[in-house]
Amino acid sequence: MRPVWVLLGDSLTQRSFEPSGWGASLVNAYSRSIDVQCRGYSGYNSRWVLGLLPTILPLDKPGPPPQLLILCLGANDACLPDRSSAKQHVPLEEFKANLAAIVQHARRLGVANILVLTPGPVHEPTRLTHALQTRGLALESAERTAAVSGAYAAAAAEVAHSLSLPSINLWTGFSQRPGWETELLCDGLHFSSAGQTLVGDWVREAIAAHFPTLTPQALPWEGPDHTDIDGERWEACLASGGGKHP
């Protein structure tokens, strides 16, 4: 049975399986070795994901635990409590506690490898335009701000560090790129095709740096390479086990 990797988060994770998505890039890179599962819940905050966690990652599930968990939350927790998406807001300290609780649950399940992605930045003018064009809402202020999203990104990185986990600060990484507002985001919040590609690159680099035994080259293929199969002895070749990444 192939090992399983779980991508857990909100719409930044749900959308990762778009054609250019960062999750889809993992599926492509590990197509012969890993089952990459998307558990992204659009609109969810850390409180709701934590509440659903016994269903997502049940502790009594038979079989081996996920080999890797990639956790990306905070984009919705950072919604402001006095604006249009108030129900999604989670106070910063609760967000940190929820994130830690999710990690502890995964560790109880036996997940040994966990990577944390922080939320990315927000471009407020584009969020206002998006609300008007898609929902007909003429908002005076965006439901999120770049500064508050940055605080939640820093908090996610802080929790990861306190739990000895590697993290990727998407807020910082995006913000340092000229033109990120329109080149890396499609609606002021979610990743554009270029943004998805960049996140995918960073995730694969982080896996190589922090989990070197989980690179595509380090993992065995399911089934031998076709060039190693003898047409007359194909059954024995298949029974011999997995192949190696070329």
Confirm if 49 and 16 have CB atoms less than 8 A apart: no
Contacts of 63 (CB under 8 A, 6+ apart): 1
Residue 101, CA atoms < 13 Å, CB-side half-sphere? 15
Contact 69, 40 (CB under 8 A): no
| Three-state secondary structure call for residue 144 | coil
Distance separating alpha carbons of residues 167 and 206, to the nearest angstrom = 8
With H, G, I as helix, E, B as strand and everything else as coil, classify residue 177.
coil
Q: How far apart are CA 33 and CA 160, in angstroms?
A: 27
DSSP state of 116: E
How many Å is the Cα radius of gyration of the chain?
20
Which residues are known catalytic residues? 11
Q: What is the dihedral of CA 93, 98, 104, 110, to 10 degrees?
A: -150
